[in-house]
Amino acid sequence: MAAPRAASRFDFADIVRAHRAELESVTRLGTRQRRVLTDIEKCRTAALGGHLDQCTTCGYEHPSYNSCRNRHCPKCQALAQERWIEAQRARMLDVPHFHVVFTLPSELRPLAAFARRVVFRTLFRVVGQTLAAFARRRLKATIGATLVLHTWTRKLEWHPHVHALVTGGGLSLDGAKWNAAHRAFLFPVVAMSKVFRAKMIAALRREYHKGGLAGFDDFHDPEGFSRLARSLMKVNWHLYAKPSFARGKYVLDYLGRYTHRVGISNSRLLAVSPTAVTFRTKGTGTTTVDPLTLLRRFVQHILPSGFHKIRNVGLYASPRRLRVARNVLGQRPPRRRRRTWRELLRKLTGRDVALCPLCGSPLRAVPLPLARAPPPARAA
């Protein structure tokens, strides 16, 4: 069982409640951004309703309020992450995996901020194409990969990149065998970064000619895109590859850190005052900003409505080919039992929420009304 997670002293929702009005007075927020902030404000408060836990023996009572379930909320991702990991266990092959990070250069970040949906969709497609091309050329195989989009640094600055968990090998093109990659080396990083750069620029050029990037200030000049493309060809595109994981089961635990991570979590908040917020960055590092700056950085990472930040490519996108690969490897999909939210919460916190924390007796749930519920109808 995982070690219970310690409760945070501070809540990001309190920062939103205290400084949202100031943020909206200086920053024009979209409908999507306003909705996310509202959900965070209401999460696990009486505004969303809930139930009262009552002990049937000692009289203990405690209100439990409903979650907003917004994917950007710092308090709503733990259970979603565990659910996702459980589902992935039925998909993930028990083979070595590599972690590869594809990062957009700083020259492209303003365009990514302007045309998020187009640039992110293109980024996902190009990352998948780059990995597939190298797998075909060097392994004569089809690899499997799970891609996760992140847009932030540990300081919440704008930094779009994709984390890719890639099988250390792939199903041969004829489907007859498994072609394994070297345990310490997937593909040449420098060569892969050059192909990634060329494919991304070509894909963005097609989007530009289709009008998908219309309205971007730098493109009012007819030579604007060509000038950007030339500058992008002159810089090195950062691509990072970590050594492989020995077994597939370790990959899931590692990947779980990235799939449902939000820009800032409550556990990273170290000190909060009306004028300053200090939060943990990397390792023992910290940074301090004013609350308004923190909120402005946070809202820029809110994804477009309906945009999926997790994608599967190759074997992991094809149930048929995945079955073939599993048969070639002599593996069976793990038996899956969907656990209840109470079981998942017990795994995360070490506490059984169905039992009284004082005497261990069963708790009874009594529904609580919404804080702003309409008044009951009068009898005619």
User: What pLDDT is stored for residue 126 in this prediction?
Assistant: 98
Q: What is the 3-state secondary structure (H, E, C) of 16-70?
A: HHHHHHHHHHHCCCCHHHHHHHHHHHHCCCHHHCEEEEEECCCCCEEEEECCCCC
Angle between helix axes 31-42 and 12-26 (nearest 10 degrees) is 150
Q: Which of 80, 68, 12 is nearest to 260 (CA)?
A: 80
More confident residue, 283 or 189: 189
Question: How does pLDDT run across 81-139, given as a tens digit for each residue?
Answer: 777 777 787 788 989 999 999 999 999 999 999 999 999 999 999 999 999 999 999 99
DSSP bridge pairs for 368? 50
Q: How confident is the model at residue 246 (pLDDT cuts 50, 70, 90)?
A: low
Q: How confident is the model at residue 254 (pLDDT cuts 50, 70, 90)?
A: confident
Three-point CA angle 257, 196, 318, nearest 5°: 60
User: What pLDDT is stored for residue 145 in this prediction?
Assistant: 95
Q: How confident is the model at residue 372 (pLDDT cuts 50, 70, 90)?
A: low
**SS3 at position 148:** strand
User: What pLDDT is stored for residue 379 in this prediction?
Assistant: 42
Three-point CA angle 202, 205, 210, nearest 5°: 130
Q: How confident is the model at residue 33 (pLDDT cuts 50, 70, 90)?
A: very high
User: What pLDDT is stored for residue 29 in this prediction?
Assistant: 96
pLDDT exceeds cutoff 90 at 380:
no
- Residue 243 has φ and ψ, to the nearest 5°, of -60, 160
Cα–Cα dist 215/310, whole Å? 28
Question: How does pLDDT run across 316-350, given as a tens digit for each residue?
Answer: 999 999 999 999 999 987 776 667 766 666 766 66
